[in-house]
A and B are shown apart, each in its own frame.
Chain A
Amino acid sequence: MTPEEEAEYRRRQKSRNYVVGGILLFLAVLFYVITIARM
């Protein structure tokens, strides 16, 4: 793996982690507000 490929690997890994983190955070908020709305 060349340094450029490794950098690209890290970049993609990082951006995916951010997206997954964002989705999990969004779902946590969504489930919270659904619970409040259904009370």
Chain B
Amino acid sequence: MATDSMTQAATTQLPADWRDFFALTKPRVMTLVIFTGLCGLLAAPGSINPILGFTAILCIALGAGGAAALNQWWEADLDAGMKRTAQRPLPAGRLGRTDARDFGVLISAASVVIMGLGVNWLAAAILAVSIVYYAVLYTIWLKPRTPQNIVIGGGAGAFPPMIGWVAVTADITLMPVLLFAIIFMWTPPHFWALALFVKTDYANVGIPMMPVVKGEKSTRRQILIYTVLLAPIAIAPWALGYTGPIYGVISCALSLAFFLLALPVGTRTSVDGDTMKPEKRLFGFSIAYLFALFAALVADALLSPLLVA
């Protein structure tokens, strides 16, 4: 009987490869999530047992992976219509939708429970909120409805450093909120720079991304506005005395570079056959910016006490 049902299942579809489940977690996005979460954890005052610290980062990664799997489960049809995403496991037909949904729910739930039991329940609660925020608020509700989707949805990616920090302190103070705010304000110029050179993809599947709905001019203006708003928030941890001069100098330099690269993007108009070099340059730099800013935060937390001594 078991053999019969197995044979029947086998003739309908081969079981998915484990690599396809891994691909569902968006490993490249996860590297940034792990990095910012780890930076929040290392920069937080106090200490955490290395095993519990590892567990916290693992749970942040699992939660992000689960939310990414749920995002791909919901958007499988849209992904099939975009060149950039058509080869993902679901639109390419290498994985069943139900499997993707169950996998997403399972690892999301596991991440929250392990975080709560192993680290602390405040970090687990913020992790749960971040998963719901991304999988439901952003993916299901906002993304198909408003061109401001990425502004509010950016909050989902802003949680990891806050969770890392709270894993150590078990308390929410101004500093983890500032770390949240930095990524929140960084997301629009980062993502809209990308959307400017892949806008036809979004237009084809009807996602109301800013360049599609409001046009290029408005998007460029808003990239510049968010870049200007990001600078004081990025510098605030130093200006408010939460960090030392290492972070202060690096955050000022990075903010200036970000502004100088956003300026041509914000003020120019593209022409037919445009290579969109300034936009691609800004997108590439924005990723390096976030890595460098959070690395500076950790370097400052580790080295500033030595400078004072």
Q: How many residues of B contact A (CB 8 A)?
A: 16
Q: Contacting chain A: which of B12-20, B139-147, B160-168, B172-180?
A: B12-20
The verdict on B240 contacting chain A, using a C-beta distance below 8 Å, is no
Within the complex, which residue of B11, B17, B51, B114 is in contact with A33, where a contact is CB–CB below 8 Å?
A: B51
Within the complex, which residue of B7, B49, B58 is in contact with A37, where a contact is CB–CB below 8 Å?
A: B49
A-B Cβ contacts below 8 A, count: 37
Within the complex, which residue of B14, B117, B118 is in contact with A8, where a contact is CB–CB below 8 Å?
A: B14
Known: A37-B49, A37-B52. A12 touches B118 (CB 8 A): no
> B14 to A12, Cβ gap below 8 A?
yes
Shortest CB-to-CB span from B10 to chain A, Å, is 5
Q: Complex Cα distance A11/B11, Å?
A: 15
- Name A7-22 residues within 8 Å CB distance of B: 8-9, 12-13, 15-16, 19
> B52 to A12, Cβ gap below 8 A?
no
Residues of A within 8 A of B7 (CB): 1
> A12 to B17, Cβ gap below 8 A?
yes
Known: A15-B18, A16-B18, A34-B118. A9 touches B52 (CB 8 A): no
- Name B145-169 residues within 8 Å CB distance of A: none
Shortest CB-to-CB span from B124 to chain A, Å, is 13
Q: Complex Cα distance A12/B13, Å?
A: 12
The verdict on B304 contacting chain A, using a C-beta distance below 8 Å, is no
The verdict on B85 contacting chain A, using a C-beta distance below 8 Å, is no
Within the complex, which residue of B14, B49, B55 is in contact with A30, where a contact is CB–CB below 8 Å?
A: B55
The winner among B18, B49, B55, B58 for most chain A CB atoms within 10 A is: B18
Within the complex, which residue of B15, B55, B117 is in contact with A12, where a contact is CB–CB below 8 Å?
A: B15
> A15 to B118, Cβ gap below 8 A?
no
Residues of A within 8 A of B17 (CB): 12, 15-16
Q: Complex Cα distance A37/B235, Å?
A: 36
Residues of A within 8 A of B14 (CB): 5, 8-9, 12
> A9 to B51, Cβ gap below 8 A?
no
Q: Complex Cα distance A37/B52, Å?
A: 7
Residues of B within 8 A of A37 (CB): 49, 51-52
Within the complex, which residue of B10, B15, B18, B52 is in contact with A34, where a contact is CB–CB below 8 Å?
A: B52
> A1 to B49, Cβ gap below 8 A?
no
For A6, the closest partner residue in chain B by CB is B10
Shortest CB-to-CB span from A11 to chain B, Å, is 9
For B11, the closest partner residue in chain A by CB is A1
Residues of A within 8 A of B18 (CB): 15-16, 19
> A16 to B15, Cβ gap below 8 A?
yes
For A26, the closest partner residue in chain B by CB is B58
Q: Complex Cα distance A38/B52, Å?
A: 8
**What 0/1 readout, one digit per residue, does chain B (42-67) give for beta carbons within 8 Å of chain A?**
00000001011001001000000000
> B11 to A34, Cβ gap below 8 A?
no
Q: Complex Cα distance A36/B16, Å?
A: 37
Residues of A within 8 A of B117 (CB): 34
Q: Complex Cα distance A1/B13, Å?
A: 10
- Give me 6 A-to-B residue pairs in the complex whose CB atoms sit less than 8 angstroms apart, sorted by A's number: A5-B14, A9-B14, A12-B14, A12-B16, A36-B51, A37-B52
